[in-house]
């Protein structure tokens, strides 16, 4: 334990991967797309990983990692089981916080907003592009519900594999959400921990842009 605590105390990260200049455009999505493209081009691990935080039905905040599947002009899109814990939380309270973190690039994007379900046609199209096994899994998993054993899950998979040997329709409880932001913050690590923090805040349909202290 002492050695571990010493490692924590001896963190001298330099933060020298870049900076944010003073012009950021009139809306945030171009910069989100630029950073995501650069993360992919640099080969960072899991560039599409995005943490989603909701207020659960128990009143506590809950976070989990999802896959940022697409970025539209309205905002980022992710897919999930609507009957899952996150789906039930979003049904009760559509307010959400998302965080994308690329430690190797010393960057993160913090998104605050509300979610809406994407059109069914969009969910259908993405679902049909997924591998057969993932489609079966979407039917088999009663996501977030208590599971008696692994065998119970695998038996459901076998039954569904027989039911849908080739074509697998999209489950009605599975689909996408679009996050419609009211605030997006871009964080770029800087030397001496004097980080750049640029915020886009939506006011009456227009984006206000300002810096925050690190």
| Alpha-carbon gap, residue 90 to 72, rounded angstroms | 20
Indicate which residue of 193, 197, 208, 211 is catalytic: 193
| Six-digit token string for 195 | 């980080």
Helix (H) or strand (E) holding 120: helix 120-129
Calculate ∠ Cα 50-55-61, nearest 5°.
75
Calculate ∠ Cα 111-86-52, nearest 5°.
25
CB atoms within 10 A of CB 102: 20
Question: Is the backbone of residue 114 left (phi > 0), alpha (psi -120 to 50) or beta?
Answer: beta
Residues 6+ apart with CB under 8 A from 17: 104, 105, 106, 107, 188, 189
Judge whether 193 counts as a catalytic residue: yes
CB atoms within 10 A of CB 104: 12
Active site residues: 193
């Amino acid at each position: 334990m002492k050695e571990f605590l010493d490692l924590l105390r001896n963190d001298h990260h330099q933060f020298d991967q870049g900076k944010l200049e003073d012009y950021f455009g009139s809306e945030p999505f171009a910069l989100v797309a630029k950073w995501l493209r650069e993360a992919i081009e640099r080969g960072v691990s899991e560039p599409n990983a995005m943490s989603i935080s909701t207020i659960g039905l128990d009143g506590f905040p809950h976070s989990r990692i999802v896959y940022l599947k697409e970025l539209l002009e309205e905002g980022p899109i992710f897919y999930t089981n609507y009957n899952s814990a996150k789906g039930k939380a979003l049904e009760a309270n559509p307010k959400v916080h998302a965080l994308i973190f690329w430690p190797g690039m010393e960057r993160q994007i913090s998104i605050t907003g509300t979610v809406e379900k994407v059109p069914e046609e969009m969910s259908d199209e993405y679902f049909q592009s997924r591998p057969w096994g993932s489609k079966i899994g979407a039917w088999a998993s009663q996501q977030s519900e208590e599971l008696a054993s692994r065998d119970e899950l695998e038996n459901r998979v076998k039954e569904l594999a027989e039911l849908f040997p080739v074509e697998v329709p999209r489950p009605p409880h599975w689909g996408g959400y679009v996050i419609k932001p009211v605030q997006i913050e871009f964080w770029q690590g800087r030397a001496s921990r004097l980080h750049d923090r640029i915020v886009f805040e939506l006011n009456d349909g227009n984006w206000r842009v300002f810096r925050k202290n690190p």
